[in-house]
Structure formats: structure tokens, C-alpha cells
A and B are shown apart, each in its own frame.
Chain A
Amino acid sequence: MALTNNQITQNSRILSVGAFRPARVVPNSEIVDLIESSDEWIQQRTGIASRHLAAKDESLIDMSVKAVQIAIDRAKISVEEIDAIIFATISYPFQAPSAATELAARIGANKAAAFDISAACAGFSYGVGMASDFVRNKTAKYVLVVGGEKLSDFTDPTDRATAFIFADGVGAVIVGPSETVGIGPTIWGSDVQNRDAITLEPSFLEFKNGKSVDDVGWPNIAQEGQRVFRWAVYEMAPVGRAAIEAAGITPGDLAAFIPHQANERIIDSLVKSMGLPDTVEVARDIRTTGNTSSASIPLAMDRLLHEHPDLHGKNALLIGFGAGLVFAAQVVELPPKPQ
């Protein structure tokens, strides 16, 4: 017999954001010796002046608990009300159970649906898109979306292409019901012809098969920087424009642009090629946070709202892109000012 599904759709929005940056601030001067580089060169190529790196015994979930508590408090909900946890990460060092389930156990969200997504630097925008659809279809009332990374565990401090880029941190949002549309359609996809542009190799099976880190290395991030740069500046502007159009607005209706913090020059190029007016506040958290992959958008969102409280409740374009290569963008109404 025919199935029934009487769920009536509703609107969704981001209710709150929370962020955690580990205490240790690492300026360029601390890392340049191992890569024979300079502070000036790094700042000129990436915009990065310093980044936060976690302590050795500070785990991804330790950091996540702190960011998530802030998001939950600001949303004025209780942990028990969270129906689903979506954790976007590429640096949780266990295949299973997921980071989301460890987080659920630590915060006491004992019954929430919990799973991880592997979409690298696009992970947060993938997660927001899914969370919004869950809320809209009443699959869940409140969804916790976390973007969190401890990339220092997967970065070679002597790699001249990556050592100065990647960093640690966690950002989280609560997505929940809304009277009005608070999250526009997600424009997402992939370009798998460029699958080898950013990789974490070798496979763990190498170690099972008797090889050691000395033999085959550790699966650190390797990136063809110029190739990714070219792809991002060429391919991501149309994706951003499509997200703006899908939300039924124009660039002039945006108050903020919060792209993945990969490289400040990619951000500059996207602002130019999307034709964003000067009235749009652009997130440049990368300068003091580095590239934190899935965490970069919520971290940048939190900072932008801290520095510009007038942006609460205004429209922002989010765009994530990274290893895969994969991408996702959507226009969101920024969370309201916490009471």
C-alpha cells in the first residue's frame, strides 16, 4: 500500500553560532625557519599573519565541546532538544564511531542522530544545506552543525606548500525552525577531474600492510596551491552568483560575504569577480586564524558578528570549497543577536 508522509514543510534559519580557537597563537616567525620562508612572503601570498594551533593533548572533540556549548547557550535551547548532529571534518583520527557521536556523548545529546561528513573545506556549507533540509522537512527540529579541525595533526611543518596555511579550530551553528526563510537554496557540486589537487596520503592500509611512517610518510595534507587557486578564482564566482540568484536577491542585498578562508587573495578575487559592492562586509578571519578547512566559515562568521554586531540578522553569502574538489554555497540570514 502507498506510504504516507504527512510532514508539512516549514522554514529554517541559523539560530546561533559558537566558536573556539585554541589558546596558542603561532605567528609566521615561529614557522618560517623550517620552510625557509619569510613572514612577508607568507602574508603577501596568503594574507596569514598568525594562526591558532591546539596543544598536543587538546583533541578535536575537546575544542568542539567548547564551541558547541556557546552555540547551544546562544540559541537558548537545551542539549536534549538537539535532534541531529552533523560534524564536518577531515581530521578526526578515528574511522568509526564518528566524531559526531563522541561529541554527542561529551555534551549529553544521547539520542540525537549523529554522523560525520567528509567534504573538506566545503563541509560546513554541505552541513548547513542538509540541516536546513532536515528542519524544513521536519526530520529534525534543531540540528547542530559543526565544522571542526585539528589540521596540525595532518600538516607537515616542513612542507613549503602547506606548513603556513593550515590551522586548528572549531565553529558550530544551531539550525532550527523560523517564521521566514533564513537559509537560501544550496548550490553544490564537485569537480572530480581535480581530485588529486588536494590529498591526504598514504592510505591507512599501508600501515596495516607493514609499512611505517618512515617508509611511506603520514597522511599529511598535500596541495597543489596554484592549481587550487586557479580553480577557486575561476569556478567559484559563478557558484556564488548562482547562490545569490537562487535566494532571490542581488549582490546589493548582501550585508556580508563569508567565504571559506583558504587564501585572502582568493577572497579578494571572488569579491571582484562577483561584483560585490563596497557595502558588503567581507570576512578576513584568515589573517589571524589561518585555513581551518571545515571550521573556517563558522569561525569567520563568529568573528564578523563580534566585530560588526549590526550584521546580526542580515544576509550573508557563504561559500565553501576544497579537497575533492567539492563546493557548496548558500545565502543565509545571520543569526540574531544573542539575548
Chain B
Amino acid sequence: MSVTQAEVLAGVKDIVVEVAGIDPTTIEMEKRFNEDLEVDSLSMVEVIVAAEEKFGVKIPDEEVTKMTTVADAVNFIVAAAK
């Protein structure tokens, strides 16, 4: 399944809103999950689990720890979904 960056960003936004209950307009590519969006490590796990299901990709734990910004997650998913 091939998806565009915009599609993945929209999907990740939906998930972060659902998991962390934050305003969707604050979620942008350069935002950091922990510092800017208050998505802590456990919420991040929930985001990843939901993203794996939504996009049909596998995101290993070691990749999760490297995902600081929304862009890190979006770009990984776009590449993994190809």
C-alpha cells in the first residue's frame, strides 16, 4: 500500500488527537511529541500501535525511540508502507 505524506500526517493527527486529547491544529510536522504535544512514552506506544493498525506497517521498538518529531513518525510510515 502506497500512501502520501499528507495522508499519513492526517492519519497520525487523528490518532494523536484520539490518544492525547489535544487540539488537532497544534499538530504539525516539526512538533516534538514529548516536549510540544505532551505525548509521553506510553502515549507514544499507543500512537504507534494505532498507526501500525491504520497503515498496515510494522514499527519496531528501536525505531519508536528515535521518533522525536511528528515528521520522524510520518516519514518512517510513508517509507515502510511502500
Contacts and interface: CB of A to CB of B under 8 A. Distances in A.
How many chain B residues sit at the interface, stated as a range, is 10 to 19
A233 B61 contact: no
B49 A230 contact: yes
Contacts of B45: 226, 229-230, 233
A262 to B, nearest CB: 12
Nearest to B65: A226
B1 interface: no
A139 interface: no
11 contacts: A44-B40, A226-B42, A226-B45, A226-B61, A229-B42, A229-B45, A230-B45, A230-B48, A230-B49, A233-B45, A265-B46
B41 interface: yes
A234 interface: yes
A45 interface: yes
A76 interface: no
Nearest to B18: A272
Contacts of A44: 40
Contact of B42 (A45, A234, A272): A45
User: Across chains A and B, which 4 residue pairs bring their CB atoms closest together, nearest first?
Assistant: A234-B49, A230-B45, A229-B45, A265-B42
A233 B46 contact: yes
Contacts of A230: 45, 48-49, 61
A43 interface: no
Interface residues of A, number: 12
Contacts of B40: 44-45
Contacts of B49: 230, 233-234
Interface in A224-271: 226-227, 229-230, 233-234, 263, 265, 269
Contacts of A226: 41-42, 45, 61
Given A226-B41, A229-B42, A263-B42, 18 more contacts: A45-B40, A45-B42, A226-B42, A226-B61, A227-B61, A229-B45, A230-B45, A230-B48, A230-B49, A230-B61, A233-B45, A233-B46, A233-B49, A234-B49, A234-B52, A265-B42, A265-B46, A272-B18
Nearest to A234: B49
A265 B48 CA distance: 15
Interface in A140-174: none
A193 to B, nearest CB: 13
Contacts of B41: 226
Interface in A198-238: 226-227, 229-230, 233-234
B50 to A, nearest CB: 9
A272 B52 CA distance: 17
B33 to A, nearest CB: 14
Interface string A94-117: 000000000000000000000000
B40 to A, nearest CB: 7
A228 to B, nearest CB: 10
Contacts of B48: 230
A84 B76 CA distance: 54
A11 to B, nearest CB: 38
Interface in B8-60: 18, 40-42, 45-46, 48-49, 52
Interface string A109-146: 00000000000000000000000000000000000000
A91 to B, nearest CB: 26
Interface in A1-37: none
Contacts of B18: 272
* Most chain A CB inside 10 Å of its own CB: which residue of B40, B41, B46, B48: B46
